[in-house]
Structures are given as structure tokens and as C-alpha cells.
Amino acid sequence: MERGFRDRDYLETDEGFFFTVVGNVHPEKRVKAYLKNIPSKSGKWGSGERRYGRALKYYTMNCLAETMNFLVKSHPHYIQRMEVDGITFSSVPLNRILKHHRPEEALADMSRRKKLDALQNKAVELARLLSEDSDVQQSFFGITGSILIGIHNQDFSDLDLIVYGRRSSLAVKKTLRDLMEDPEIPLSRLTGEDLKEWCRKKRELYSLTLEEAFKLYERKWNRGRFKGTLFSVHPVRVEEEVAEKYGDRTFTPIGIVEAEAKVVDSSSALFMPALYEVKEVQINSGPDVEGIEEVVTYEGLYSDLVYDDEHLICQGKLERVEDKRAHRTYYRILIGSSEAAGGDYIKPASW
């Protein structure tokens, strides 16, 4: 199957903007993506004449709204009313794409090169380590973020790896958990001041207490340090795992709800958007409807957080879903919407 636009790919445009692709399902002749980096003479990313600043400071809906406002005012051709999704969001027209940056191609290229800088070398080493210990071929790995587009900063850029496909992702997840417990491997979870700073930042940016942030990190398997550098690993679906086409389902906003539900299938919570199939839903506030089947999050912080047979509590946007393929209607709760204005969340009910 032909390689399409996948979650966490990067798109470079005529203006020198870099957009990060969101998900694997996109409108015709456009790609859903948020603005990540823009040219800036005083930018901290890149070097020489090729310097960039971050348009998106943090991965939150409030910061995303700032990038949307920038585009509305100065580059409205990147803003689209998506009636299918019931939202206005940024997207890149195909004819505006100067280059499609694919994470697996960038990592493969770095792996072949004899001369790499220190950060690139660590990225290749980490991918090889995970590949060898998980028995997942290195072709299923990629590199995203600033290293993908060649504007990384040796002083503070992270290693942001991609692993493609469900089976590969589960294998890497198990391997990472094991390796981070091995004192002989230069791979570790966040501890001490590192962990405290991570939790303080999450408390500031999200609807979490400091204690909840610590508990949340305890469930995170994909973030830590490798040879002193912060790293993350992000599972991404491949084409044969995505049967849906844009427009197969339409989403209509109903209102903001607070609810509790039992998770019956969390197998798709690895990916973006992360999806939890739920039942026994109880609405604590907001519109009370029957037939809520999913809790979905575009906030990566809440991906792969709640397990099968656990109860979750959440606050988010209630949407009516019309599935044209199955000729049926149901409801879902969406975390990561402009309507919630950063007040939405998912937490295990046991907290």
C-alpha cells in the first residue's frame, strides 16, 4: 500500500514553515497538521541563515489556539472549516507542500551516513538498541521532531523516535520497560529533579495536581533519558491499520461533559488520537445521553494511560458520531478541543 501522510510526519511549506501531521486520516487535497516551527533570525533551532523559532511552545490546546490565531491573521490559506469534524483547524493544501519529511526515511539515511553529530548518533544508537532487543526491524522505526527536519540544537533538543504498527509498538513497549530497569543499559526513567520538573510542568499546563502528575508518569513507558538526553517513543499506525477514510464518520459537538466509565478495550490508546472503548458510562455534569461508546484524546499526555477493566473519569467535548459505513449513530467524549479550553482530562478513577 502506498505510503500516505502519517501522524508525526512533518510538512515543509513555501514560506519555510514546518507543520506536524495529526493522525492518518485527512481531507481531500489537504493534510491535517499544526504549525510547529517558523523562520526566525533569533530562533534557537537551526544554524546560520537557517534559524527557526517554535510557533507551538507547548503541546496544549491553548498554545495550539495561538498558532491558529497567527495563521488566521497572516496565512489564512492554512485554516480550514472541517464540517466533517465540526471544527475549524489548520491543514496544509497539497500544492503548498515543498517537502514531505518522513521519519523512517530520515532515520534510515542517518543510519547509512558515516558522519553524524552527537544528537543524531544517539538517535541511531537508541533505535538500534530498541530494534535489537525487541526483534523489531529497524525499518519500523523513525525519527521525528527537530532532528527529522535538521534544525535540532545540541544543547536541548530531545530524541523523538517513532515506531510503526501495533505489533511493533507493543514489542518496543515491553522492551523499553525491561531496559529501563537494567542498570547496565544507559537508558532510564526520569528520577529526582528531572521527574519533579516534568511533573511541575504538567501541573502548570494541564488539569492535574502535582500528585496526579507523579502518578501519571508512573504509567508512562515511553519517556526517559538515553545517555543523558531526554527521549520519547511514539507509536504510529501504518496504512493497513487504518480502514477509515475522511468523511466515513461525521462529528457534531453537543456540549462539555464530565463522566465516569469502564474501559473495555484500550488497544487503540497507544496511537494518536488515542481511543478507549467504554461502557457503563455515567454523566456527572453536562448533557446526559445514552450510547457513549468511546473516549478519544488528541492530548498525547493521556494516551495509553488507562487499562482494560479499569474505570476512568474524564471531562471533554461530547460529540454525536454518525458512522456512514455502519449506518448507525453513537456518542463519544473528545479530549483536546478548543471548546474545553484546556480544562479537559482523563484520569484513572482509582486516583
Task: List pLDDT tens digits, range 210-250.
Answer: 999 999 999 999 999 999 999 999 999 999 999 999 999 99
Average pLDDT over residues 23-27: 97
* Residue 232 confidence (pLDDT): 98
* Residue 150 confidence (pLDDT): 96
* Residue 341 confidence (pLDDT): 87
Nearest to 99 by CA among 148, 54, 135: 148
pLDDT digits (tens, 9 = 90+) for 97-143: 999 999 999 999 999 999 999 999 999 999 999 999 999 999 999 99
| Residue 346 identity | I
* DSSP designation for 96: G
C-alpha cell at 131: 530494534
The structure's pTM equals 0.96
pLDDT band at 20 (very low <50, low <70, confident <90, very high): very high
* Residue 1 confidence (pLDDT): 64
What is the length of the chain?
Answer: 351
pLDDT > 70 fraction of the chain, expressed in percent and rounded: 100
The rounded distance, in Å, linking the Cα atoms of 87 and 82 is 5
Domains of the chain, earliest start first = 10-101 (no CATH), 103-236 (no CATH), 248-348 (2.40.50)
Angle at 15 between CA 12 and CA 20, to 5 degrees: 30
- Give me the residues paired with residue 119 across strands: none
Indicate the angle between helix axes 192-205 and 210-218, nearest 10 degrees.
120
The rounded distance, in Å, linking the Cα atoms of 165 and 173 is 12
Peptide bond preceding 93: is omega within 30 degrees of 0, i.e. cis? no
Instruction: Return the HEC string of 281-311.
Output: EEEEECCCCCCEEEEEECCHHHCCCCCCCCE
